[in-house]
Amino acid sequence: MLRYQNNAFRILGLLPDATLSKIKERADEIKVKSDLGMEISFEYDFPLLGEFDRSYENVINAVERLENPLFKVKRRNFLFLDR
């Protein structure tokens, strides 16, 4: 299960067709909720797939990875892999 737990789309709680503006918007939303101590959960979290870390560092890392167009295409086509 560890292979897809840190998938960038999964960390951000987004579908693979998310635009870059939506990705950045979601990262900001996660940061605000985290700062306010609110629960961070989204429609596409799928708890059945196991837990994952939405720490500030992981969210920033996910955004940086998805800003790379080639990486984004690979993650979109292989959603359950993150290598």
- Write the pLDDT tens digit of every residue in 3-16: 667 788 889 999 88
Report which DSSP code applies to 68.
Answer: S
Residue 12 covered by a domain: yes
More confident residue, 42 or 82: 42
Task: State what percent of residues in the chain have pLDDT above 90.
Answer: 31
Structural domain for 21, as ranges: 2-38+51-77
Report the number of distinct structural domains present in the chain: 1
Element of type H or E holding 70: helix 69-77
How many CA atoms lie within 13 Å of 70's alpha carbon, on the beta-carbon side?
0
Tell me if 82 is assigned to some domain.
no
Residue 64 maps to a domain: yes
| 8 Å CB contact between 5 and 19 | no
